[in-house]
Amino acid sequence: MKNGKHYRAIVLLAVFFTTASSTSAVSGGVAASYLYNLSNFTGIVPYNWSRVSVDREKNEIYVISNGSVSIFNERGMEIYRFGDDSDIGAAADVAVDNDGNIFVLSYQGSSAVITLCNFRGEAISRVELKDLPSGQSGFSPDRMVYREGLLYLVSLGLMRVIVTDVAGNFKAGYDIASIIGLEEDERADSGIVGFNVDREGNMLFTVPAIARAYVVSPDRTVRSFGKRGSAPGRFGIPAGIVADAAGHYLVADTLRCVVIAFDKDFGFLTEFGFRGHGPGNLIGPRDLAVDNGSRIYVTQLRRRGVSVFQISEK
């Protein structure tokens, strides 16, 4: 999996040959039920492996696709879009702070830039990275997460994370591959796919090459879980990962076409979705986000858009 094209080809073949059934699940003290897909006034928006982010204060959902950003309300209807004719570049990711300020990670040519925008997506200022350690001056992130005044900037392929404040001042750096014990040649063949940050500031990420999910605390304490397999609770190709308000970990499995729920001690609870074309089925799920209402947003392949599920205690 040395690049995105190889990864995508493997996933497409794997999903094609994978079969399962069911659209919702109840097990292990957790219930998951399908609600709807994100839509506009013409129907379901047919996104294909988009990136999704949530404004936790307003429970608004941001979907990044083809360089533009669409905003949906908590009922799943599109209310605004920006970036189509913007001078901020092709958007790759979005993060929203507690005051509703929008940070857009975009590309202008081959260079990654971070732009602070107002609620209309209009550029206010450029966020320049400052005081980076030696050797990090050329750092180019392709994933960004906001959490409690901090921006987590991630190079998924290099498996490196830089943490700054919202003004771009360096706060911490993490060499993920070294922290989890990978050798340099293993780094080149691995890479991160899913990345998120929970309420305690723990970094959550998946490494599909070794079928593992990780939780790394700010002090670099490492916990991990997952085993490869096709049985319930096992990983085929783990991708997006989030933690909800109740402390459940949820992992999208692109190969098995499910979202798998684990408890805070990584015990398997349930899984839902499954390959199919009915309401609540999933095709190649990839990115995940969760709002304060324990609704989980799942991106997928084949222009299936973003499916929304409700997670609740039994």
Q: What is the pLDDT of residue 29?
A: 80
Q: Which regions of 156-300 does DSSP assign to beta strands (E)?
A: 160-165, 170-175, 195-197, 203-207, 212-216, 222-225, 238-243, 249-253, 258-262, 268-273, 288-290, 295-299
Q: What is the pLDDT of residue 28?
A: 60
Q: What is the pLDDT of residue 314?
A: 76
Q: Flag whether pLDDT at 18 surpasses 60.
A: no
Q: What is the pLDDT of residue 313?
A: 85
Q: Which helix (H) or strand (E) holds 94?
A: strand 90-96
pTM, rounded to two decimals:
0.90
4-313 CATH choice from 2.60.120.310, 2.120.10.30, 3.40.190.10, 2.160.20.60: 2.120.10.30
Distant-in-sequence, close-in-space partners of 287: CB < 8 Å, separation ≥ 6: 49, 50, 51, 52, 194, 239, 240, 252, 298, 299
What's the pLDDT tens digit per position in 261-272? Answer: 999 999 999 999
Q: What is the pLDDT of residue 108?
A: 80
Q: What is the mean pLDDT of the chain?
A: 90
What's the pLDDT tens digit per position in 43-78? Answer: 999 999 999 999 988 999 999 999 999 999 999 999
Half-sphere exposure for 125 (CA within 13 Å, toward CB): 7
Q: Where are the alpha helices (DSSP H) in the chain?
A: 4-16, 176-179, 184-188
Q: Flag whether pLDDT at 16 surpasses 50.
A: no
Q: Flag whether pLDDT at 260 surpasses 80.
A: yes
